[in-house]
Chains A and B, each alone.
Chain A
């Protein structure tokens, strides 16, 4: 169900914890699965449960508790914009309006071509670089002006 590269990564995570505590690797395993599949379908979560000897419901509890997991398909690129107070003081709401207008979508929506999903996020612990958004859970883009947003969007293929 998951590729061998992903399984190798998951095994490396499992090895960090005591032998009788495989469940400790579930957050990492779900992240790695999501990186391969784009989102966590019930089948993918079921596979992770089997792989770590967990009950499927225990895996779903984790996947639904932490908000960086995608429980539904998302676009090729997921943009999560922080709108919390420190970012808002530095123009995050203007950036939100700009992104929504430019992409023609609201928060929790995906562009018609399936390319970009826009999400609203909570504090990323990067308020000194406000406003910030997170690209595909990996790349933090900060000090966002409209021009900077244009530049980043133009680079997305």
Chain B
């Protein structure tokens, strides 16, 4: 199976510049300069690859890059979103830690394609050791002339810095992240204007996820069409899936988009203790949960999962076996959104608290008969009524848990206890 992001990383000691160069590192950048590829040609290649944003939204990367104003005279910024905090997701951490130069090269190429001179990589504060390593990799890249003035004699200049987050899930939302770099509370901005016209410090800005940038060097080196062929139409390339929960070997697995879920589960060592797969959240905690039997029939790509009623999201696959009480699982997730709401929009600030308190009382045997309808009614009043998607992210788990496991919630209400543990 072709690997792009984790290729040649065995042993965890091959993250340095010299190791990266040995596995074709910085060859894509050199190719661009040697063949005098124009920025337009680079963007075209990325468009051909059908690379879609790996942070969760799945927006076509080449298209996003083409939104940047080309002849803008002032400063423009490139930002990498390494603020990975969606429960279940830990893929960017591994790219940053084991393959930092591939991200750096991807960002240099993106900067070249959009005529940008300054970039920031926003890394969440909880992974301090990873941050330090990326800092070291940046120093290596500067010393080798890959970052700074007149890169490799090309006349193109680009400087890249790390920025450390310090504990706020909301900063994964791109405009909250920009606010955070500006030294403010991470509260999302109303859109439009979009970052391509009004981004960091009010300047045109492009933000992509770590995994997205890290996929770019391979696309340039081997061609967009080759990348597309690795996956499926409209779902180009490979994807890192973070598998957590009740499996024998939790971890990151890089497979082509379109790989059957059953195969991914097998790669992760199968169900822990040979138990039954009860449910799976296929794209990070904000995405709708699906019953195990539905998951077993699915392929892991954006379109297949959307058809089944959930989303590929960040590629975080949370596996739950038949010992899990779905009310309790939802209770923990709802607490998370309540805790992490930035407080800006009333439906989210108040609504996430209401959702949590109602799920909590059902879990604790104090549920009322009208509670399930009340929960759904509350999600109606949150979804689509907030500045950013955190409100939707809080609502979608609630709707899907109640939809697929309504009997379990009803049992809690009727019997003041759990059907799973009784």
Render A76-94 as a binary contact track against B, CB cut-off 8 A, 1 for contact: 0000000111101110000
Given contacts A61-B185, A68-B125, contact A128 B251 (CB under 8 A): yes
Identify which of residues 130-170 in chain B touch chain A, using a CB-to-CB cut-off of 8 Å.
161, 163-169
Bound: A89/B323 CA distance, A: 10
Complex: A58 Cα to B183 Cα, angstroms: 9
- When the two chains form the complex, which single residue of B89, B129, B164 contacts A127, counting CB atoms closer than 8 Å? B89
- By a CB distance below 8 angstroms, the chain A residues around B45 are none
Choose from A62, A125, A128 the contact partner of B250 (Cβ within 8 Å): A128
Assess whether B168 is in contact with A66, with CB atoms less than 8 Å apart.
Answer: yes
Least Cβ–Cβ distance between A98 and chain B, in angstroms: 18
A27 CB contact (under 8 Å) in B87, B164, B243? B164
Of chain A, the residue at the smallest CB distance from B314 is A125
The answer to whether B336 touches A123, judged by C-beta atoms less than 8 angstroms apart, is yes
B59 is an interface residue with CB less than 8 A from chain A: no
Query: Per-residue CB proximity of B15-49 to A under 8 Å, as 1/0?
Result: 00000000000000000000000000000000000
Within 8 A of B (CB), among A62-109: 62, 65-69, 83-86, 88-90
Contact A128 to B252, CB < 8 A, known contacts A27-B180, A65-B185, A85-B285 = yes
On whether the beta carbons of B166 and A90 are closer than 8 Å, the reply is: no
Q: Are A84 and B332 within 8 A (Cβ)?
A: yes
Q: Which chain A residue shows the least CB distance to B169?
A: A122
A30 to B169, CA, bound (A): 19
Contact between A23 and B166, CB atoms less than 8 A apart = no
Chain B nearest CB: distance from A93 CB in Å? 9
Bound form: Cα–Cα A124–B294 in Å: 29
A65 to B167 Cα, complex, angstroms: 9
The smallest beta-carbon distance between B89 and chain A, in angstroms, is: 6
Task: Verify A123–B324 contact, CB threshold 8 A.
Answer: no
Collect the chain A residues with CB atoms within 8 Å of residue B126's CB: 68, 121, 124-126, 134, 137, 140
Q: Does A28 contact B (CB under 8 A)?
A: yes
Question: Does A25 belong to the interface (CB within 8 Å)?
Answer: yes
How extensive is the interface on chain A, given as a class? 35 or more
Q: Is B105 an interface residue, CB under 8 A from the partner? A: no
B56 → A minimal CB distance (Å): 13
Q: Check A130 for interface membership: any CB of B closer than 8 A.
A: yes
- Mark out the residues of chain B between 244 and 269 whose CB falls within 8 Å of any chain A CB in the assembled complex: 244-246, 250-252
Contact B128 A84 (CB under 8 A): no
Q: A139 contacts the other chain (Cβ, under 8 Å)?
A: yes
Q: Which of A6-35 contact B (CB under 8 A)?
A: 16, 18, 21, 23-28, 30-31
Tell me if B300 is interfacial: C-beta within 8 Å of chain A.
no
Chain B CB within 10 Å — which of A28, A128, A137 has the most? A128
Q: How many Å from the CB of B319 to the closest CB on chain A?
A: 8
Structural contact, A122 and B340, CB atoms closer than 8 A: yes
> Which residues on the A side are within 8 Å of B319 (C-beta)?
89
Interchain CA distance A126-B243 in the complex, whole Å: 11
- Residues of the B chain whose Cβ atoms lie less than 8 Å from the Cβ of A129: 90, 250
- Tell me which residues across on chain A come within 8 A of B246, comparing CB atoms: 89
Asked if A151 CB lies within 8 Å of chain B CBs, one says no
A124 contact set on B, CB distance < 8 A: 85, 124, 126-127
The answer to whether A126 and B127 touch across the interface, beta carbons within 8 angstroms, is: yes
Residue of B85, B161, B183, B329 ringed by the most chain A CB atoms within 10 A = B183
Chain A positions 33 through 74: 1 when the CB is less than 8 Å from some CB of chain B, otherwise 0: 000000000000000000010100010011001111100000
| CB < 8 Å neighbour of B88 from A28, A31, A86 | A86
* CA gap between A23 and B85 in the complex, in Å: 24
Q: Find A125's partner among B85, B129, B332 (CB 8 Å cutoff).
A: B85
Annotate B171-189 by CB proximity to A: 1 below 8 A, 0 otherwise.
Answer: 0000000001111111000
Residues of B within 8 A of A68 (CB): 125-126, 166-167
Q: Which residues of A contact B252 (CB under 8 A)?
A: 128
Q: Tell me if B168 and A65 are in contact (CB < 8 A).
A: yes
A128's contact among B128, B167, B244, B332, by CB below 8 Å, is which?
Answer: B244
Q: Is B316 an interface residue, CB under 8 A from the partner?
A: yes
12 CB contacts below 8 A, A to B, read A16-B163, A23-B183, A26-B183, A65-B186, A68-B125, A85-B87, A122-B167, A122-B340, A123-B169, A124-B85, A127-B318, A138-B128
